[in-house]
Amino acid sequence: MSISITQMTRRFGQTEVLRGVDLTVGKGELVALLGPSGSGKTTLLRIISGLDWPDSGQLRVAGEDWLSKRAEQRRTGFVFQHYALFPHMKVRDNIAFGLTVLPREQRPSAAQIRTKVEELLQFLQIPQLADRYPSELSGGQRQRVALGRALAIDPEVLLLDEPFGALDAQVRRDLRRWLREVHEATGTTTIFVTHDQEEAFELADRVVVMGAGQIEQIGRPEEIYDNPATPFTASFLGLTV
Ligand code: ADP
């Protein structure tokens, strides 16, 4: 679904973490939020998912006001850098989790959940992991499972916060390619947070460069490379204006 953020602000004490952010993400788009640590990227994701609230501004998803909805009423999938998988649950139960806690009227039957999990395991190319526990998986495998868990509820919006940040360069490259394929197959509107420009530029339809609570530039990767709009963008990307 499309996401529209207008004039969003958030402060923690004296720190203005978001200073009037305007951002529109089209339905089915994959957007990367790229910026240094502390620029407000995670705060923006947390507000979209309902884990945090802005001081002012609007958030609309498919035209609906999401700030009037609690986190449980928003259909978001969230993948964190440090895999928040449940250690005592097998992979298949981790993936099923989001479905088992949906509000009763939306919750599928146990049989439907089993079928959905099998389909996802196949689709994500991890059927061999179904009966393992998280401790038996590599870091890259855990993130594949974490994405499976986020996608199980057919989210309207998928939010990924430095999902590959803790992994080796080669694993990151493999996962990037895989995520791009998954995205093309599902068409889920996705915001991907990273401080790694190579990752942002390779993955995203559009890149949103953030610095100190503000959007410095939004554009397709080649537009930003060819024409960095601000000195901040140029210096962050190692380019000349
Ligand atoms: P990024 O994801 O770009 O690294 P964050 O959104 O995590 O940035 O953080 C931006 C700033 O907001 C940081 O300076 C951080 O210390 C501050 N911050 C984030 N959450 C809180 C909080 N709950 N309380 C106080 N300060 C916070």
Q: Give how far the C-alpha of residue 91 lies from the chain's centroid of Cα atoms, to the nearest Å.
A: 20
Mutate to test the pocket of ligand 1, among 9, 42, 48, 214 (most ligand atoms within 8 A of CB): 42
CB 63 within 8 A of CB 114: no
pLDDT > 90: what percent of the chain?
88
Q: Ligand 1 center to residue 43 CA distance, Å?
A: 6
Ligand 1 atom at minimal distance to the Cα of residue 39:
3
Q: Where are the alpha helices (DSSP H) in 101-196?
A: 110-123, 139-151, 169-186
| Tens digits of residue pLDDT in 181-193 | 999 999 999 999 9
Q: Is the pTM of this model over 0.90?
A: yes
> Which H helix or E strand runs over 16?
strand 15-25
Tokens linked to 147: 């994405």
Complex confidence, ipTM? 0.95
Ligand 1 atom at minimal distance to the Cα of residue 213:
10
Tokens linked to 72: 């449980």
The amino acid present at 25, given as its one-letter code, is: V
CB 10 within 8 A of CB 17: yes
Q: Ligand 1 center to residue 18 CA distance, Å?
A: 10
Mean pLDDT of 226-236: 90
CB 93 within 8 A of CB 54: no
Residue 190: helix, strand or coil by DSSP? Answer: strand
Nearest CA residue ID for atom 14, ligand 1: 38
| Tens digits of residue pLDDT in 34-57 | 999 999 999 999 999 999 999 999
Is the pLDDT assigned to residue 241 strictly greater than 60?
A: no
Confidence of residue 76 (pLDDT cuts 50, 70, 90): very high
Quick count: other Cβ atoms within 10 Å of Cβ 239?
13
Contacts of 38 (CB under 8 A, 6+ apart): 212
Is the pLDDT assigned to residue 221 strictly greater than 80?
A: yes
Confidence of residue 123 (pLDDT cuts 50, 70, 90): very high
C-alpha span between 107 and 104 (Å, rounded) = 5
Please report the pLDDT score of residue 103 as a whole number.
Answer: 83
Query: What residue ranges line ligand 1, CB within 6 angstroms?
Result: 12, 15, 17, 35, 37-43
Ligand 1 atom at minimal distance to the Cα of residue 210:
3
